[in-house]
Amino acid sequence: MADTERKKVIFSGIQPTGVFTLGNYVGAVRNWGPLQDEYDCIYSIVDQHAITVRKDPAKLRQQTVEGYALLLACGIDPKKSIVFIQSHNPNHAQLSWVLGCVTQFGELSRMTQFKDKAAKHADDINAGLFTYPVLMAADILTYNADAVPIGDDQRQHLELARNIAVRFNQRYGDMFTVPEAYIPKVGARIKSLQEPTKKMSKSDENPNATIYILDDKDTIMRKFRRAVTDSDTEIRFAEGKDGINNLLTIYSCATGKGIPDCEKEFAGKGYGDFKLAVGEAVADYLEPVRTEYARLMDDRAYLKECWTDGAQRAFRMSNKVLTKAYRKIGFVDYR
């Protein structure tokens, strides 16, 4: 008998805030492509979330297009997955109003990210910054997503989405799937090239600390030449050798070789040669992403075709849920 069980739905929203780091790519992004074979995946560039802090309109528009192209370059297939820009589907904002009316003020007041962002942007503590966790809940619930890939910083928001779904279901009858956290297989944890006890971060003020997946080869080589090592001379993975441990981990990820094999390969060699080899391996590892990204950015017509199709598919899927929610709460059908 054929297996007719439906695939579970995963929703993931990505803010248009710049290029992924090598750490982002190794730790999570490179697994998104294979995920499409196991789940029905919905990916959205969440540009509406981005405006909770002031943005230059031209920069936001450019970063949204770049973010969309980057998803495709990293292996998201717009034929296998629904890939769209959040503001192209009005159902998110419409459901957000409904869900806001079953969300308690106190729940939003306890959101730690609101407190953190309000402190950081004290001159612009706007209502959107306060209520955006409800929009995030709408992003998820409008597709009845079964699972949402999250990091630690989003656990509180997902818990709120779960509470909203349960409360709506209790008040108006069974309606929303209560989403679970999807904990992806964690790839290697890549550290800063300048402070190897800290994770690699796009917010690092030191330009030599972070490798971005669109860095050109010359830039990558320069950053690795300046990478922090230690006063020892032996290339081995050991406690207290944070810089070398980080470089061995990066080399292992870029080449697919195990750490012991990497140690053997560089036995007796100096740190300078080792850093150059890591840089070469990373440049080669990221080259297909850079090439595909450049190709996509040169073909704006194709990108527009993809995000238009994605928005239409997202609208059709989410509109069924929104229509049902409207009916549940007592709105009059208009057709």
Report the CATH number that the domain containing residue 107 is assigned in CATH.
Answer: 3.40.50.620
Alpha carbon dihedral 199, 134, 69, 251, in 10-degree steps, equals: 20
The one-letter code for the residue type at 24 is N
Residue 29 shares a structural domain with residue 108: yes
CA dist., res. 93 & res. 97, Å (int): 7
Kindly state whether residue 241 falls inside one of the protein's structural domains: yes
- Least confident piece of the model among 15-29, 212-226, 243-257: 15-29
> Which of these is catalytic: 8, 199, 217, 257?
199
Residue 124 shares a structural domain with residue 259: no
CA dist., res. 116 & res. 183, Å (int): 24
Kindly state whether residue 141 falls inside one of the protein's structural domains: yes
Name 212's bridge partners. 21
Residue 72 shares a structural domain with residue 173: yes
Residue in this structure with the two tokens 């904002």, named with its chain if needed: 93
Residue 29 shares a structural domain with residue 94: yes
CATH number at residue 249: 1.10.240.10
> Which of these is catalytic: 7, 115, 202, 304?
202
> Is 117 labeled as catalytic in the residue annotation?
yes
Provide the residue range defining the domain that includes 245.
Answer: 217-294
User: What is the rounded average pLDDT of the residues 268-289?
Assistant: 96
Residue 57 shares a structural domain with residue 114: yes
Task: Answer whether 0.85 is exceeded by the pTM.
Answer: yes
Tokens of 52: 């909770």
Count of domains for the chain: 2
Kindly state whether residue 269 falls inside one of the protein's structural domains: yes
> Is 199 labeled as catalytic in the residue annotation?
yes
pLDDT band, very low/low/confident/very high, at 187 (cuts 50, 70, 90): low
Contacts 24+ apart (CB under 8 A), 298-307: 300/65, 303/65, 303/68, 303/69, 303/72, 306/68, 306/72, 306/78, 306/83, 307/68, 307/83, 307/84, 307/85, 307/88
> Is 328 labeled as catalytic in the residue annotation?
no
Quote the percentage of the chain above a pLDDT of 90: 78
Q: Tell me, what's the pLDDT at 32?
A: 84
Tokens of 203: 């917010």
Contact between 224 and 193 (Cβ < 8 Å): yes
Contact between 191 and 242 (Cβ < 8 Å): yes
Residue 228 shares a structural domain with residue 178: no
pLDDT band, very low/low/confident/very high, at 1 (cuts 50, 70, 90): very low
> Which of these is catalytic: 117, 191, 223, 275?
117
